[in-house]
Amino acid sequence: MLSVEGLRSRYGRIEVLHGIDLSVGSGEIVTVVGANGAGKTTLLRCLSGVQPVSGGQITFRGEPLTSVPAFRRIQRGLAQSPEGRQIFTNLTVEENLRLGAFIYDDDRVGQDMQDAFAMFPILRDKRDLPAGGLSGGQQQMLAIARALMGRPSCLLLDEPSMGLAPILVAQIFDVVKNLKSLGVTVLLVEQNAFGALSIADRGYVMETGHITLSGTAEDLIADPRIREAYLGV
Ligand code: ATP
């Protein structure tokens, strides 16, 4: 569904992605794990089209994506839930969800909203309240629900567990795992390597702008290098 070959990106004169190769198959949950500053967010921003690419190719559903503008990528089925959630705190929960569907003007938007409320009942309870009043976990659910309102076939998730209490982290990873049953393909970027690998099919390890290891999630969790560096074992 999504493939990346030799992807490079820079901030000014400093290159931070040095030729990334990865792929995500239809229906898979694939994770990219790595420490703070490894380049994971930059990678996702290149995929969603908000960060310039200085080399390499991105292909999505068989078509080149590298020079397609960000809003068209959403139309093609690629949506991002950004790091730090970036919800609109002064708008209500429902208004935030409607913004996720801004490219649609059809009857299905109402049904999509009902589906979002079925998935996250707390958002239905708080639909008329300002999103800024939600807890961190609820805001993360809203960010995911808002991205789903764009009807993506592939969802890019940037650190959904960041800053959440352990019980909420488990809930969020459950939500991500369940996206699979909705037919949504997921590329999940995480510092929480154990949580991410526990729900993923495959994973990549990123270090200072390079992919240094890849494999099935099961193999990566068992790999002594990963256990020492990322799982604290
Ligand atoms: P985090 O988990 O903290 O988001 P990350 O793995 O997502 O880390 P990036 O945010 O992609 O990493 O950062 C990769 C590198 O690019 C880091 O060295 C970072 O300092 C640098 N960087 C990120 N954003 C900018 C920017 N706007 N201008 C200059 N350098 C940047």
The CATH number that applies at residue 38 is 3.40.50.300
Averaged pLDDT, 96-100: 91
Residue 200 lies in a domain: yes
pLDDT at 220 exceeding the cut of 90: yes
Atom of ligand 1 nearest to the CA of 83: 4
d(CA 44, CA 30): 13
Neighbours of 10 (CB within 10 A): 17
Give the pLDDT confidence score for residue 86 in this predicted structure: 81
CA distances for 107 relative to 4, 148, 207, angstroms: 35, 16, 45
pLDDT at 233 exceeding the cut of 70: no
Residue 105 lies in a domain: no
Give nearest CA residue, ligand 1 atom 8. Answer: 37
d(CA 9, CA 143): 26
Give nearest CA residue, ligand 1 atom 16. Answer: 16
Residue 122 lies in a domain: no
- Confidence category of residue 232, pLDDT binned at 50, 70, 90: low
Residue 135 lies in a domain: no
Q: For 85-95, b where at least 16 C-beta lie within 10 A, e where not — what string?
A: bebeeeebbbe
Residue with more model confidence, 112 or 21: 21
Give nearest CA residue, ligand 1 atom 20. Answer: 37
Residue with more model confidence, 126 or 119: 126
Convert the pLDDT of each residue in 63-97 to its tens digit: 999 999 998 998 899 988 877 678 899 999 999 99
Q: What is the pTM of this model?
A: 0.91
Domain ranges, residue 186: 2-89+153-229
Residue 160 lies in a domain: yes
List residues near ligand 1 (CB under 6 A).
11, 16, 34, 36-42, 83, 191
Residue 68 lies in a domain: yes
Domain count within the chain = 1
Give nearest CA residue, ligand 1 atom 19. Answer: 37
